[in-house]
């Protein structure tokens, strides 16, 4: 069984690929910064978990997805929605609880869905999306297609019992599911070392015969390579695959996190030395794929997309009172 540590140097990428990754990651970064601002202004309520720092994970994984593939995640979900092509306006308007939101204001930050983009949430219960992801994969197998279900969860969820029930069934029935463990080192305020008896999460499938791999989740090209390998494995009918993405979130667990469990220096060091967006920016410049002016133009374009989304989210009306009673039953 191929359970392995990080592979060697990732393959190179074309100019177009790098530009795409850069834009997609930057969109998530700027979107989340704006969401943070709106939260501070009281326009977004409740829980709001930002994805800043982890952008390379979802962008790299999505690069190997094809039409019909599904994705499902827990509540740190804004990045996943943007990466699979959902409209930033609809996502932001859901954060502000407005009619124009993906769930018409009834789901909020943690509960958003898009049947069209095969995005199955946005789940508020840690670990619950894992069997659901295997169920999406079950449907692929039942229908005899070669689609894959990307099932994301965190290092905290990796200790949930239902994850292992799911590993067992996914392997037993050879379901085409990629279990992406986004190890951002902290389950809310509890570090991996304090919560996990065995910190190498990519080995957690060994008992079930599921191959696993640790990946540098701050390097979008490493993530892309891993995603290609894992999707090929699943599409060939060889069953599930585990990818542990070693990543880092810059912001608190949610907006109300005092962040006493780690030092400012630790966060600063990651930002300065390992930032996934800076990494691609440097690659673009050093490969002569983009000039500073090109990058500025991209920044401007992304900023305008995000500003439009925020404007839409602020101007969209609150849901009509009659919406209280709709969508309970079909």
Partner 1 sequence: MATQILMPALSPTMEEGTLAKWLKKEGDTVSSGDILAEIETDKATMEFEAVDEGILGKIVVPEGTAGVKVNTPIAVLLEEGEDASAADNLSTDAAPAAEEAPAAEAGADLPDEGPGAQPKVPAAVDVPETPEVPEGTTYKSQTVREALRDAMAEEMRRDGDVFLMGEEVAEYQGAYKISQGLLDEFGGQRVIDTPITEHGFAGLAVGAAFAGLKPIVEFMTFNFALQAIDHIINSAAKTLYMSGGQMGSPIVFRGPNGAAARVAAQHSHDFATTYAQVPGLKVVQPYSAADAKGLLKAAIRDPNPVIFLENEILYGRSFDVPELDDFVLPIGKARIARRGTDVTIVSFGIGMTYSMQAAEELEKEGISAEVIDLRSLRPLDTETVIRSVQKTNRCITVEEGFPVCSIGNHISAVLMQEAFDYLDAPVINCTGKDVPMPYAANLEKLALVTTAEVIAAVKAVTYR
Q: How far is the CB of 312 from partner 1 (least distance, A)?
A: 16
Tokens 């191929």 locate to 2
Q: Distance (Å, rounded) from C-alpha 273 to C-alpha 26?
A: 17
For 23, phi and psi rounded to 5 degrees? -60, -45
Query: Within the chain, how many helices (H) and strands (E) appear?
Result: 11, 8
Site residues for partner 1 per CB under 8 A: 70, 72, 101-107, 111-115, 120-125, 128, 130-140, 142, 149, 161-162, 165-166, 168-169, 172, 326-330
Of 242, 125, 110, the C-alpha closest to 183 is 242
Q: Distance (Å, rounded) from C-alpha 229 to C-alpha 79?
A: 22
Which tokens hold the place of 138?
């079950």
Whose Cβ is closer to partner 1: residue 22's or residue 113's?
A: 113
CA 70 distance to own-chain centroid: 13
With 0-12 / 13-18 / 19 or more C-beta atoms within 10 angstroms meaning exposed / middle / buried, residue 256 is exposed
Q: What is the DSSP string of 196-211?
A: -SS--GGGTTGGGT--
The enclosing H or E element of 17 equals helix 15-40
Whose Cβ is closer to partner 1: residue 101's or residue 212's?
A: 101
DSSP 3-state assignment of 152?
strand
Tokens 């946005």 locate to 122
Q: Distance (Å, rounded) from C-alpha 216 to C-alpha 214?
A: 7
Query: Residue 278 contacts by C-beta under 8 Å, 6 or more apart in sequence?
Result: none
Q: How far is the CB of 210 from partner 1 (least distance, A)?
A: 14
Parallel, antiparallel or unpaired: strands 186-187 and 177-183? unpaired
């Amino acid at each position: 069984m191929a359970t392995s540590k990080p592979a060697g140097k990732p393959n190179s990428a074309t100019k177009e690929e790098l530009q795409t990754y850069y834009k997609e990651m930057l969109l998530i970064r700027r979107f989340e910064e704006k969401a943070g601002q709106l939260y501070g202004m009281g326009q977004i309520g409740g829980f709001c978990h930002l994805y800043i720092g982890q952008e390379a994970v979802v962008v790299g994984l999505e690069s190997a997805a094809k039409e019909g593939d599904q994705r499902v995640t827990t509540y740190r979900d804004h990045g996943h929605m943007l990466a699979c092509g959902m409209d930033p306006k609809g996502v932001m308007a859901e954060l502000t609880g407005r009619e124009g939101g993906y769930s018409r204001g009834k789901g909020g930050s943690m509960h958003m869905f898009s049947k069209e983009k095969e995005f199955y949430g946005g789940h508020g219960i840690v670990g619950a999306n894992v069997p659901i992801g295997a169920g999406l994969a079950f449907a692929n197998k039942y229908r005899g297609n070669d689609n894959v279900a990307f099932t994301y969860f965190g290092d905290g969820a990796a200790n949930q019992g239902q994850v292992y029930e799911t590993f067992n069934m996914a392997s037993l029935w050879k379901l085409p599911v990629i279990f992406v463990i986004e190890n951002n080192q902290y389950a809310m305020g509890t570090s991996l070392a304090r919560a996990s008896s065995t910190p190498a999460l990519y080995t957690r499938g060994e008992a079930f015969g599921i191959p696993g791999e640790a990946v540098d989740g701050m390097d979008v090209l490493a993530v892309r390579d891993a995603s290609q390998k894992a999707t090929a494995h699943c599409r060939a009918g060889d069953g599930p695959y585990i990818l542990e993405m070693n990543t880092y979130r810059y912001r608190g667990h949610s907006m109300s996190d005092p962040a006493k469990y780690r030092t400012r220096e630790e966060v600063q060091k990651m930002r300065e030395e390992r930032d996934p967006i800076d990494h691609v920016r440097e690659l673009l410049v050093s490969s002569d794929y983009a000039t500073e002016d090109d990058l500025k133009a991209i920044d401007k374009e992304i900023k305008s997309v995000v500003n439009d989304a925020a404007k839409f989210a602020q101007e969209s009306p609150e849901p009509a009172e009659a919406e209280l009673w709709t969508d309970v039953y079909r």
